[in-house]
Structure 1
Amino acid sequence: MFGHFTFYFLDFSWWWFIGLFFAPDTGAIGYVFNAKIGAFLYNLFHHQGLTILFWGIGFYLHLQVLQLIGVILFFHSAFDRILGYGLKYEKGFKFTHLGEIGK
């Protein structure tokens, strides 16, 4: 609801939302280096607090690009939680705060 409501008031076409929806998953590139860096970057790109921070700063400064980043991050991370993908542990990609993926 938060994402839909806030995106509605931005001056971006819906294709921006669709096109950027999976952009936060680029944080998984850290797993190329090791699990610790991978978990840190993935968690940074999927942290709900960061989403609210981006949106709030964008709202306060009237910068719709920051608001868009916040909305995309929020929607994407919420979608991941619905699918059972949580914040990652340093043990490996499949170990999350919601449990092990693919058990």
Structure 2
Amino acid sequence: MKLQLKLEYAAFLLLGIYAFAQTEYSWWWFAGLFFAPDISMLGYTVNTKTGALLYNFFHHLGVAILVYLAGVYLSLPYLQMIGAILFSHSSFDRILGYGLKYPDSFQNTHLGKIGKNRE
């Protein structure tokens, strides 16, 4: 992946960390829940279409932003926390090259192929 994209997602990760810092929650929550969105990969036990749908929902930057903004609008700090963690986790995944999934295969992402069998 191009360095420019990695730098952009690194900036997004820092923005997510900043957004979390604006909540009143302990950093233990951030550390403890940072990889929670990856639980959505359990959808792949059903089939690739369900897996991609669940994975993409919990790794979509727009969903993360909407959750955070809903928390701001409704004055619900836990929604702000969830949105910030979703945003940070998704940005971190993008730095590593894990993009949103296509329904045909976990390895086929919007950022290109991942894994050992990529071409």
Structure 2 length normalisation: TM-score? 0.84
Q: How do 1:29-48 residues align onto structure 2 when only pairs under 5 Å count?
A: 29-48=42-61
| Counterpart in the other structure of 1:8 | 21
Q: Quick check: 1:58 aligned with 2:71?
A: yes
TM, length-normalised to structure 1: 0.97
Equivalents in 2 of 1:21, 1:5: separation in Å? 14
Q: Could you say which structure has the greater relative contact order, defined with CA pairs below 8 angstroms and 6 or more residues apart?
A: 2
Unaligned runs of 5+ in 2: 1-13
Q: Alignment identity in percent?
A: 58
Shift of 1:9: 1.7
Q: Which amino acid aligns with 2:23?
A: L
Structure 1 segments, 4+ long, off by >4 Å, are none
